[in-house]
Structure 1
Amino acid sequence: MTAATGDILSADLSSLSDAQLMKLERQIAKKHSGMFPWLMVIWAFGNLLCWLAVWPLVLLDIMPLWLGFIVATINMSMVYLPTHDAQHDIIARPGQKLRWLNEWVGHATSWMIILPFEVLRVTHLDHHRHANDPELDPDYTSHAAGPWAALWRTVKERQPKGQRQNDYLASLERHDRQGLILLTLAYKLGFFAILFTLAWTGFALEAFFLWWLPLQIAMPYLVFYLSWAPHHPGTARGRYTETRSWKSAIGNIGSMGMQFHIVHHLHPYIPLDRTPAAYREMRPLLVARGCELGDN
């Protein structure tokens, strides 16, 4: 924080205009953006290699299946955040030298949860454009009255007739990306072909405990903390009201950095690991804006 910014933030902000508040907000956001997100790159490929290593360790009886299941579940739960930063071009924007790395991070992580990177990118950017809009927000189905209702709804939405998949399809169609629908189908068919082949060759338990079940456990966890918790109650729309900061019972790491999700929606080019620091500097401005802020 510059000295000038610090002086203003320690003063009474109620006398500042919207333009002045925005200028200060952007100064803080700029300070926390633009650096290379090493954490996300290491996270992406480290998590992938860890999960891939579990397979030969279990198949060769070096690691017990129960331990492999625990590790695989953690791996599946950690998949999304690196691809999320890649969706926002935080590693490298189009035309930059490391653009290939940005795309590699996106693709190398998303396939583990059986979704093409471009599908996640198109639908997630639609979520940012239309957050909490019941007609246009692809993630609107994550809204629920409370945490248990949210988890139950997430499980229901994973059924074949869930509304969430229809909302994702509608988002792709609005952007004339029907080809991604076929690619998603190919991902699903490939996934089931791998599971079938493993089962046919005598590795049904390994297929179940190292991929299928960890995925079923991880997805409700991901949707709960990445969508429901930071947007609850999900009824307001607008730059400063469509999301919030909040205090998680399992901490910022356990909730995957989503305690400060309001900063991400305001300035999505800030790397995930920088949002807590950006939030702490920006908090007086957010209070002046009337944002919903937790005790963090």
Structure 2
Amino acid sequence: MDHKALLASLPPDTRAALTRRRPGPGLARLAAHITLILATGSYVALGLPLWWLMMLPLGVVMTFLFTLEHECTHATPFTGGWFNEAVGTACGLLLILPFRWFRFFHLAHHRHTGDPTRDPEIAGHPRPGTRAALALYLTGWGFWRGNLAALLRNAAARPAPYVPPRQRRAVIWEARAHIAIWLTALLTIPPSYLLSLWLLPLLLGQPALRLYLLAEHGLCPPVANMLANTRTTRTTRAIRFLAWNMPYHAEHHAFPAVPFHALPKLHEKTRAHLQQVSPGYAAFTRSYLRSLR
């Protein structure tokens, strides 16, 4: 059974219950995520013993705001549309990943998942096929290079074709505004704070995020069925918390209108039909390493 047939088999009241947005879960998860950032960031800012080691956990909890920004592109984590936009925009500013542009990038990924020519996640820059390429991938080099190139293209009024014509102007001015904000931050905030509380943690957190993202579609066949081209990874409650339940990724791709807090319920209804399931991120990484040249 493919994902379309599976969704069609769900009763209308079940689909309605799964897609119902509630304010409580999103606000509670957001408050907890911000608390983690403030706690680790304060430890670094106060220069407490071995503060420089704390930049790594700070970087991990910061970079995993990517999963929240991703959820905001679907307008599912919060009930208020304006609040989804505001949170997504704030995440984009922090992660150097403009939110409006990323929404169109990500929706194109959903439409063409696994297509080597039309999925913008892999078009022109496939997943690593050697151990050397994997090592470079884990640094985040490709992520930073690709995002900065897109940012400059957007600022120069040359957005990618997946940006709808009616949204091109907004994406162009978003890029220009973000560049102005980041330059202002670089010129006004003391370099020591910029490095220890923002830029270095973002760099240090990338390997964890890269490994996590690689499991979503790595080693999956390039087919149209979302239950086959996307992987669900069984993992700990802590990782599911940090990643806003996105380890249930096949479920998310099959039914992206389902909010993060309802994905475990959707998993119960889809798990018998999932074709790509990993027992954990360590297990997936071992499998990926065995597949490399």
TM-score > 0.5 by shorter chain: yes
Q: Kindly state the Cα deviation for residue 218 of structure 1 after the two structures are TM-superposed.
A: 2.9
Q: 1:184 is matched by which residue type in structure 2?
A: A
Counterpart position of 1:204 = 191
Would you say 1:272 and 2:260 are equivalent positions?
Answer: yes
User: Which structure would you say has the larger Rg?
Assistant: 1
Q: 1:242 to 1:255 in 2, by over 3 A?
A: farther
Alignment RMSD (CA, Å): 3.9
Would you say 1:144 and 2:98 are equivalent positions?
Answer: no
Would you say 1:282 and 2:270 are equivalent positions?
Answer: yes
The alignment's TM-score, normalised by the length of structure 1, stands at 0.71
Counterpart position of 1:194 = 185
State the distance in 1 between where 2:26 and 2:126 align: 25
Counterpart position of 2:106 = 124
What SS does structure 2 have at the residue aligned with 1:131?
A: coil
Residue identity (%):
23
Does the CA-based 8 Å contact 2:67-2:246 persist in structure 1? no
Counterpart position of 1:80 = 66
Does the CA-based 8 Å contact 2:234-2:279 persist in structure 1? yes
Does the CA-based 8 Å contact 1:143-1:234 persist in structure 2? no
State the distance in 2 between where 1:242 and 1:277 align: 21
* Correspondent of 2:233 among 246, 255, 270: 246
What SS does structure 2 have at the residue aligned with 1:177?
A: helix
What SS does structure 2 have at the residue aligned with 1:259?
A: coil
Would you say 1:99 and 2:69 are equivalent positions?
Answer: no
What SS does structure 2 have at the residue aligned with 1:209?
A: helix
State the distance in 1 between where 2:135 and 2:240 align: 19
Counterpart position of 2:141 = 156
The alignment's TM-score, normalised by the length of structure 2, stands at 0.71
CA deviations on 1:14-73 (whole Å, 9 max, x unpaired) are: 9xxx85873138765544330415333333355446646776775566787426624531
The total of aligned residue pairs comes to: 267
Q: Kindly state the Cα deviation for residue 217 of structure 1 after the two structures are TM-superposed.
A: 2.6
Would you say 1:69 and 2:55 are equivalent positions?
Answer: yes
Q: 1:136 to 1:21 in 2, by over 3 A?
A: closer
Counterpart position of 2:277 = 293
* Correspondent of 1:111 among 75, 81, 93: 93
Counterpart position of 1:170 = 160
Would you say 1:261 and 2:249 are equivalent positions?
Answer: yes
Unpaired runs of 5+ residues, structure 1, are 1-13
